[in-house]
Amino acid sequence: MYKERKVSLKTNIPEVFVTLVVITFLSFNNYSCRSVFNSTQRKKEGTNPSATVKKDTVPATPSSFIAPGRDSTGTLSDSLSLLNDTVPGIRGDTLGKQATDTLDIKVSKDSLDAPVTYAALDSMVLDVPTKRIILYNEASTVYTDVDIKAYKIELDQQRKLVIATYGLDTAGKMTGQPVFVQKDTKMQMDSVVYNIETKKGITSSTYTNQGEIFVYGEKIKKISETDFYAKRGRFTTCNLDTPHFSFQTNKMKLVNKKFAITGPVHPEFEGVPIPVYLPFGFFPMSQGRHSGLLPPQFATNEQFGIGLEGLGYYKVLSDNLDVTFTTDIYSYGGYALNLLPTYRKRYRYAGQLALAFQNTRTLSNAGLKEFETARTFNISWAHTVDGKARPGTSFSANVRAGSTQFNRYVANNPIINFENQLSSSITYTKNWDNKYNISVGANHNQNNNTRLVSLNLPSVTFNVSNFYPLQPKELVGEPKWYEKLGVGLTSTVIGQSSFFDSLASVRQIVDTFEWGATHNIPITLALPQLGPLQIAPGVSYQERWYSKSTELSWNKGSKKLDTAVNKGFYTARDMSFSLSVSTAIFGIYNFGKKSSVKAIRHVIRPTASLNYKPDFSSQDYYDVQLEEDSLGRRGSFSRYQNSIGGAFGRGVFGGVSFGLDNNLEMKARAKSDTAAESDRKIKLLDGFGINGSYNLLADSFKLSTLNLYARSTLFDKVNITATALLDPYKVDSRGFSTKQYAWSGGKFSPGRITSGNIGISTSFQSKKKDESKKSASELQEEDDMPVTMDQQQNELDYIRNNPAEFTDFNIPWSLNVSYSLNFSRQNTPDYRGFETVISSNLSLNGDFNLTPKWKTGMNTYYDFRGSGIQSLTMFLSREMHCWQMSINVTPIGPYKTFSISINPKSALLRDLKINRRRSFNENL
């Protein structure tokens, strides 16, 4: 076998080379010489590899020259060596490099402007009279930015042509199909004829792809670097040689990476033409953004009627700005308009604004009139600033505001229909060398049920990081203990206004405006560790400013509580002292050598804190009668409990706060003693413990309620969390706590649990069929463009409502289970007692492959308190290579839907689909 050989030559060099070869060969008895270097062929013929020249009866004129053969040693020899000493003063081995500079040779008029580099694995034939070079087997030719690879390549110097074709193997199968590459254009064909001077060419049976589109042309003519004409072509997003579907046309023009224009075009499925013709076709092939129409989606709704959703236009205004306009139109007369501008400036900022208006006309369920009408709007804005644009500062916005009834009238979206909360935030932060920072923001909350709107404007927070006043500026050696005394500051000022959207006005905002401020000064001291104990003293001072106070009074006439609000400037303060101690205790229990369990480790982390808080707030509390009866039950309230910042706790506290956290782990013994297999650590309980406090200075209720918690991950699969609140006191006949402990009176009881919750969740799935294949979420590219919360929520809702379109056939089955239980003891509305409220629910989500191409699944939610299935969604999906069929059914729930859709997988043709959708909303 002979190694691949690459030769670079210019057009004038072969002419000189041919002349010298002719002169030299004529001096050798007028014989025609042929050099053959295909050793494989020679061995088959039984010839001597060293016979590089053999005589022939062909006339004396040299007819052809086949590139260098082997010398007597069996190695490759350079044909230029035949010219040694023929031309005095020129060495044969340097002729190819120095001929242009050494000899005074005029450049031919038909010479090229760049060298042609060619190579072949098998053989190379040089035809001197016709100036042709023929390459065989894995041949390649490179000229400027054009790279051609094929089984056979012919270089015709006289006509400036490169001709490439395929070959046939011993089984008669095609091998070495020509591949044409020029910059970012790549084509595969049966044959190609390319003119390296005019840079034009023609190909046959050509395949190429532009982005997601695969293009085929029976004949394609290249007239420039970017323009092509094709005869009998097709477009498709299916990557098979015989695609499942395509658009057929007899003539078309392609502009590379931009678009394609065709004559009459029609679709074809599985080789069967569909008699639906369009007079012309336009296929965008450009990557990135480009303007165009947005096709609608057909939908039906019993309340809205038949509709077209998503009809609109996308316009690219500049590199930094584009706008999307869509509309939804329904047969009952309703419509919706959506405007979505998007802006971006690289390395500076990016954002998106969404404006929506609804003119709703739906069937009335009341029966008094045929239709109900409403006009609603919604505004969303998302904005982010690149952190590198202005180091130390940041600005972000995420705004959602609008009519409280807007979500109710969004068609075909049950998730949004039942979303009752809207929130917004705008924040600006500034940092000064991590010593000081300020945050200025505005927040908005809106309840769609009560129609109450709350604005927090402004919201200012100023922080001073801990500084150490006793520490010298230039620290030498270890700091002394008192030098670690740190002081900090956190100040917050909030303005707030609340009103109902039906009464929204500037006057209403001003009348309901209130403000509050909170100042917190923590003083800490980090003492050196004392053996296994870590001791940390601390002092905290807080002050709050209020703009109003609230007082409740019992109205004997109406027998209810009246509320009086007083505006002004009020202050309250609080101070606390603490000394905390913490440590960790480790315990290990080892099992025998024959046990599969090697050891169990128990870690106990106790904490205790001695706290003292003087009573600075007793003057802010008052007692008021709560009910009209012989007992005359009274309650204690603070004048600032409904003010911004809240009220401080009442009374003196001098006691101990305590906590006990535990961790339990097991080490399982390895099945073998090899180094490849080690012992496994298994977490039995990630944490469980108790927290509480004991007030030494209180005259009653010294022991606080106790917080119990536990969390664990069993077998690295089942997540369990549990919390509970334990009341250590007895209760009276109405459920109110008394001063007696639960364990007093001779009968032991730890107390009663007043509230708690348990959550259990797990997920199982089979192994992937192909581990190297990534899921759709893994393949999704990260996009730093911010989206509004509405847009993000719409995408999540679409996935929930149409799970069949997002199935992963690479995972044969999966199952997700979650269970939640909550209970609590709550005051009755009239404060006359307590009632226990219990709620629990079960969520199931799973799917499995019926066959390698069929998948089914469901998502359900069962409410045990409501004693029934609250929602049930089922789906069926069919994998069809480049297409996908999905069926989604929601038979149970307040929003019932049915949809069937058949569409291509390609995002380019996502709107080319057949869909049928019906829905009904019980709440409209």
Task: Give residue 127's pLDDT.
Answer: 87
Residue 545 scores a pLDDT above 90: yes
Task: Give residue 367's pLDDT.
Answer: 67
Residue 377 scores a pLDDT above 70: yes
Residue 660 scores a pLDDT above 90: yes
Residue 814 near residue 762 (C-beta atoms within 8 A): no
How far apart CA 766 and CA 69 sit, in angstroms, is 61
Task: Give residue 108's pLDDT.
Answer: 61
* Mean pLDDT, rounded, for 431-451: 87
* Residue 788 pLDDT grade (very low, low, confident, very high; cuts 50, 70, 90): low
Task: Give residue 762's pLDDT.
Answer: 92
How far apart CA 735 and CA 743 sit, in angstroms, is 17
* Residue 56 pLDDT grade (very low, low, confident, very high; cuts 50, 70, 90): very low
Residue 419 scores a pLDDT above 80: no
Task: Give residue 301's pLDDT.
Answer: 79
Task: Give residue 863's pLDDT.
Answer: 87
Count other C-beta atoms under 10 Å from residue 287's C-beta. Answer: 12
How far apart CA 386 and CA 784 sit, in angstroms, is 10
Residue 178 near residue 201 (C-beta atoms within 8 A): no
Residue 628 scores a pLDDT above 60: yes
State both tokens at 470.
Answer: 């006793």
* Residue 617 pLDDT grade (very low, low, confident, very high; cuts 50, 70, 90): confident
Q: Specify the higher pLDDT residue, 833 or 515.
A: 515
Residue 249 near residue 234 (C-beta atoms within 8 A): yes
List, in order, residues 6 or more apart from 371 with CB less than 8 Å away: 332, 333, 361, 362, 363, 364
Q: Which of helix, strand or coil describes residue 91?
A: coil
Task: Give residue 631's pLDDT.
Answer: 58
Residue 52 scores a pLDDT above 80: no
Q: Which of helix, strand or coil describes residue 40?
A: helix
**For the segment 105-143, what is each residue's pLDDT rounded down to a tens digit?**
565 666 667 788 888 988 888 888 888 899 999 999 888
* Residue 563 pLDDT grade (very low, low, confident, very high; cuts 50, 70, 90): confident
Residue 103 scores a pLDDT above 60: no
Task: Give residue 414's pLDDT.
Answer: 64
Task: Give residue 616's pLDDT.
Answer: 87
**For the segment 146-156, what is each residue's pLDDT rounded down to a tens digit?**
899 999 999 88
Residue 85 scores a pLDDT above 70: no
**For the segment 503-516, what is each residue's pLDDT rounded down to a tens digit?**
777 888 888 888 99
Q: Specify the higher pLDDT residue, 253 or 679.
A: 253
807-810 contacts, C-beta under 8 A, 24 or more apart: 807/847, 807/855, 807/857, 807/875, 807/877, 807/886, 808/775, 808/776, 809/849, 809/852, 809/853, 809/855, 809/879, 810/768, 810/769, 810/770, 810/773, 810/775
Q: What is the mean pLDDT of the chain?
A: 79
Max avg pLDDT among 41-55, 283-297, 302-316: 302-316
Task: Give residue 102's pLDDT.
Answer: 47
Residue 907 scores a pLDDT above 80: no
Least confident residue range of 215-229, 462-476, 662-676: 662-676
**For the segment 793-832, what is each residue's pLDDT rounded down to a tens digit?**
566 666 666 666 677 778 888 999 999 999 888 777 666 6
Task: Give residue 601's pLDDT.
Answer: 92
* Mean pLDDT, rounded, for 518-533: 88
Task: Give residue 802's pLDDT.
Answer: 65
| Cα angle value 879/883/886 (rounded, 5°) | 60
- Specify the residue for token string 């970017």: 226
Residue 443 scores a pLDDT above 80: yes
State both tokens at 799.
Answer: 């996935």
Task: Give residue 229's pLDDT.
Answer: 93
- Specify the residue for token string 């500026």: 473
How far apart CA 865 and CA 879 sit, in angstroms, is 39
Q: Which amino acid is at 156?
A: D
Residue 334 near residue 360 (C-beta atoms within 8 A): yes
Residue 34 scores a pLDDT above 90: no
Q: Which of helix, strand or coil describes residue 99?
A: helix
State both tokens at 744.
Answer: 């007093």
Residue 340 scores a pLDDT above 60: yes
Task: Give residue 808's pLDDT.
Answer: 76
Residue 667 near residue 593 (C-beta atoms within 8 A): no
* Residue 44 pLDDT grade (very low, low, confident, very high; cuts 50, 70, 90): very low
To 10 degrees, the CA torsion angle through 343, 347, 349, 350?
Answer: 40
Residue 321 scores a pLDDT above 80: yes
Q: Which of helix, strand or coil describes residue 629?
A: coil
Task: Give residue 543's pLDDT.
Answer: 92
H/E stretch holding 689 reads: strand 680-695
How far apart CA 159 and CA 709 sit, in angstroms, is 87
Residue 359 scores a pLDDT above 50: yes
| Cα angle value 513/514/517 (rounded, 5°) | 145
* Residue 7 pLDDT grade (very low, low, confident, very high; cuts 50, 70, 90): very low
Q: Specify the higher pLDDT residue, 15 or 458.
A: 458
Task: Give residue 271's pLDDT.
Answer: 85
Least confident residue range of 2-6, 108-112, 520-524, 695-699: 2-6
**For the segment 285-309, what is each residue's pLDDT rounded down to a tens digit?**
777 777 888 888 888 778 888 888 8
Max avg pLDDT among 184-193, 726-735, 904-913: 184-193
* Mean pLDDT, rounded, for 444-451: 82
Helix pair 12-26, 95-102: axis angle to 10 deg: 110
Max avg pLDDT among 88-97, 233-242, 768-777: 233-242
Task: Give residue 831's pLDDT.
Answer: 61
* Residue 730 pLDDT grade (very low, low, confident, very high; cuts 50, 70, 90): confident
Task: Give residue 542's pLDDT.
Answer: 92
How far apart CA 527 and CA 520 sit, in angstroms, is 22
Distance of CA 30 to the CA centre of its chain: 77
Least confident residue range of 103-107, 354-358, 691-695: 103-107
Q: Is 717 exposed, middle or buried (0-12, 13-18, 19+ CB in 10 A)?
A: exposed
Q: Specify the higher pLDDT residue, 631 or 608.
A: 608
Tell me the pTM.
0.61
Task: Give residue 638's pLDDT.
Answer: 87
Helices (H) and strands (E) in the chain, counts: 7, 53
Task: Give residue 567's pLDDT.
Answer: 87
* Mean pLDDT, rounded, for 448-469: 87
State both tokens at 216.
Answer: 């085929």
How far apart CA 613 and CA 648 sit, in angstroms, is 11
Residue 776 scores a pLDDT above 60: no
Residue 57 scores a pLDDT above 80: no
- Specify the residue for token string 């009239």: 830
Residue 161 near residue 195 (C-beta atoms within 8 A): yes
Residue 641 near residue 683 (C-beta atoms within 8 A): no
